[in-house]
Amino acid sequence: MTLVGERAPRFELPDTEGRIQELEPAPLTVVVFTCNHCPYALAWHERLMAVAREYAELGVRMLAINPNDAERYPRDSEVQMKARVQAGDFDGVPYLRDASQEVARSYDARTTPDVFVIDGQGTVRYRGAPDRDYEDPAANAQWLRSALDALLEGEDPDPRETEPVGCTIKWKP
């Protein structure tokens, strides 16, 4: 399962305004595979957005990617993605469409959500769930925060990998 310690696959994907966003050099980048229809992704969403807000000034960039098959799951359509962005759900975090699902496959993403932290050299340093319990807001994306804190201090995350929890990615037939 792990990509931890390996180079993060590069990508270019459109956001909900049609702008191309890419994995570009940043001190730290958080790539979150997520979607509109999954209760796990929705339950963790606010915690992830809080991380994006609080760590932005430390040079952490977050990109959200929806890889689901929107034909079979219309709630994950571009129109529905745009509606959430316009409603303020993403708080400035680009919400990208992986229509071909190639990016999700290159990351071996399994669920929504599935979180990857990538360092300034383009190496994956954390992968997994945001925290131990989607049902407990007090868990506060602690695994992700801990990984970011460690990396910002020049240390290795501990844990550096956890089991992603959520809905399976809806692959195209």
Partner 1 sequence: MRVELLFWAGCPSYGKALRELQQVLRESGHDPRTVIVREITTDDAAASEGFVGSPTIRIDGADVQPLANEPTGLTCRVYRRRDGRISPTPDPEDLREAMLAASSQRPSGGRTRTAARAR
Note the residues at the interface with partner 1 (CB under 8 A): 37-40, 42-43, 72-74, 134-135, 137, 165-168, 170
- Amino acid in position 30: V
β-pair type (60-66, 95-97): parallel
Provide, rounded to whole angstroms, the least separation between the CB of residue 43 and partner 1: 5
Q: Looking at beta carbons only, is 157 or 166 nearer to partner 1? A: 166
User: 128 exposed, middle or buried (CB, 10 Å; 0-12, 13-18, 19+)?
Assistant: buried
Measured N-to-C along each axis, helices 39-55 and 142-152 cross at an angle, to the nearest 10 degrees, of 30
Which residue number, 45 or 125, has a Cβ lying nearer to partner 1?
45
Specify the residue, 47 or 125, whose C-beta has the smaller distance to partner 1. 47
| Residue 81: its H or E element | helix 78-86
User: For partner 1, which is the closer residue by CB, 51 or 169?
Assistant: 169
| Sign of the alpha-carbon dihedral angle for 10, 20, 149, 129 | negative
Cβ atoms of 106 and 9 within 8 Å: the answer is yes
CB of 2 to partner 1, least distance (A): 20
Closest distance of CB 88 from partner 1, Å: 17
Q: How far is the CB of 137 from partner 1 (least distance, A)?
A: 7
Report in angstroms how near the CB of residue 170 gets to partner 1 at its nearest: 8
3-class secondary-structure state, position 23? coil
Q: Which of 15, 53, 33 minimizes the C-alpha distance to 128? A: 33
Complex with partner 1: residue 45 or 160, whichever CB lies closer: 45
